[in-house]
Copies of this chain bind each other. A is one copy, B any other.
Amino acid sequence: LSETLRLGLEKAEKFAFELYTAAGLEPEKAATVARLQVLTDGLGRSTHGLAMAPLYLAEIAKGEMSKQGQPDIVRDFGEGVTAVWDGNYLPGLWLVDLAIGKLMPRARQFGMAAMAIRKSHHIGCLAALAKGAADEGLIVQIHNSDPAGQRVAPYGGRKALLSPNPYAFAYPGEHHPVLIDQCASITTTSMTRQKVAAGEEFPEPWMLDAQGQPSTDPRVLEHGEPRGSIQLVGGASYGHKGFGLSLATEALSQGLSGHGRFDAPKRWGSNVFVQLIDPAHFAGLDAFHSQMDDLAKRCRSNPPIDPAQPVRLPGDQAAKRLAAAQAQGIELPQSTWGALCAWADQLKVSVPTF
């Protein structure tokens, strides 16, 4: 299981594109999803790269991820800087990428712009979505929740109610953007499933069992009866901080889109808030770089606790991994490769050679 395969970025993207189009996804959607999933693997966020493709293909086959069409405009920009879409459960990577494209000229014109999206399907890796606009000098914020997901209890409670609620904040950096992508719970659903699959415990009590007691056992989340939950950032001692982050994301992604837990959706989905800021409308992009590139230098040169582990900024490791992937291809675990090949067989898509 620990064996991995290497696949060039272009080959990987073409393979994913062909799988998605064979499954019925419209070509523009298949192309964006394939491109961003391979980028996600390139950035090293492997739980959300091509490892997600078999799950998406299953959702398409069941009719849970929409194959074609456009989002409905719930509220247009008009003269302002905000809009709301109903994503009709179209692929989230395509929807959010499209939204960012619509927001860019508004942000360039007004200084900032934002969109709330209800009923998107899963949006994958937020850092991969945010990278493009940050590469072009914008600050990108993405908040994401799944109103059908109940995996995290409110602070002080013991019944799962919230989703992990990731948040990305990306900004322009000297050589590559700073890519912050983290959630309001200590760990994620994907990491928990990986631990269960590997038969491992968490090194610290990042779960809560059904009685609300801290636990290192990843099985409490989906295999316990009754079920437990993932702990909020801050855990038992200061989990009110993770709760605050989680509520902010619920407000932006569900409150502003006018759809959420109140509607009790049962379908795997995503509610999203995306905001772009153009530093040129504040003190300017040069001034922004002067401050933030200097801060980055001060961080990287801070004396490390462990001399073998210099301080790095969020996005540093991703940039290094992406450069390596561009030269040598992405690494796929056998389990992902096997699942992709099974779908290729079923959809009559040819498997790339190495």
Q: A residues near B, CB below 8 A? A: 74-75, 79-82, 84, 109-112, 114, 116, 118, 139, 153-159, 161, 169, 171, 178, 180, 182, 186, 203-204, 208, 211-213, 233-234, 237-238, 240-241, 243-245, 247-248, 250-252, 254-262, 277, 279, 281-284, 287-288, 290-292, 294-295, 298-299, 302-306, 309-314
A123→B79 CA distance, assembly (Å): 33
Instruction: Please tell me if the beta carbons of B260 and A295 are within 8 angstroms of each other in the complex.
Output: yes
9 contacts between A and B (CB under 8 A): A80-B111, A139-B251, A153-B302, A180-B248, A182-B240, A186-B234, A234-B234, A247-B295, A251-B288
Tell me which residues across on chain B come within 8 A of A234, comparing CB atoms.
186, 233-234
CB distance from A308 to the nearest CB of B (A): 11
Instruction: Please tell me if the beta carbons of B277 and A256 are within 8 angstroms of each other in the complex.
Output: yes
Other-chain contact of A82, B212, B259, B282 (Cβ < 8 Å): B282
A192→B260 CA distance, assembly (Å): 39
Other-chain contact of A161, B79, B302, B312 (Cβ < 8 Å): B302
Tell me which residues across on chain B come within 8 A of A262, comparing CB atoms.
290-291, 294-295
Tell me which residues across on chain B come within 8 A of A171, comparing CB atoms.
248, 251, 255
CB distance from A293 to the nearest CB of B (A): 9
Say whether, besides A116-B283, A154-B299, A260-B295, A244 and B161 are in contact (CB < 8 Å): no
A202→B234 CA distance, assembly (Å): 15
Other-chain contact of A255, B111, B158, B288, B306 (Cβ < 8 Å): B288
Instruction: Please tell me if the beta carbons of A241 and B182 are within 8 angstroms of each other in the complex.
Output: yes
